[in-house]
Amino acid sequence: MSDGSWTASDRFSGCGWVWMDSREDIQLMGTRNFTRCESALHSEVEALRWAMENMLQYSPCQSFGTDCKELIAMINEPQEWPRFATELEKIETLQICFPDFKITHVPRVRSQLPDFLAKTAMNFRRELLFIGCSIPVWLTRPPQA
């Protein structure tokens, strides 16, 4: 699962992703920020791109999830989103490496950890890039559901 976070006033945009196995046990997660992008949807595309790049390195994962229905529409019909042509071209290039690529909608209630990671990265006061098996102690903890 991946998620992007963006506001018009923050210095950074953020992304978060979580790789879970078939039993939904967390295997790996990532959080990073980058100079604020153009829109919330741009941050969602960047989050998916970064998750895909990491899955190529660390996982046999072929299925991706997002709570952003617009992102799924963009992946399924990129020609309908000319404003995102450059970003979608990067995603299409990565898709070649995933012979069974699939992206599905995940309800927001099930994507709380990627959302937390993306928002935390966006609000971090300096550059942040972390990949690991659990949330580091130096990051604030997400609220328990």
pTM to 2 decimals?
0.93
Return the percentage of the chain with pLDDT > 70, whole number. Answer: 97
Q: Is the pLDDT of residue 145 over 50?
A: no
Q: Residue 39: exposed, middle, or buried by beta-carbon count in 10 A (0-12, 13-18, 19+)?
A: middle
DSSP single-letter state for residue 97: T
Calculate the average pLDDT of the chain. Answer: 94
Cα 128 vs. chain centroid, distance in angstroms?
A: 15
- Rounded mean pLDDT, 68-76: 98
Strands of 2-5's sheet, edge to edge?
Answer: 2-5, 12-20, 26-35, 129-132
- pLDDT value at position 31? 97
Write out pLDDT tens, residues 113-125: 999 999 999 999 8
Q: Is the pLDDT of residue 111 over 70?
A: yes
- pLDDT value at position 141? 65
Write out pLDDT tens, residues 73-89: 999 999 999 999 999 99
List of E strands, 36-120: 63-66, 102-105
- pLDDT value at position 61? 86
Write out pLDDT tens, residues 21-62: 989 899 999 999 999 999 999 999 999 999 999 999 998 889
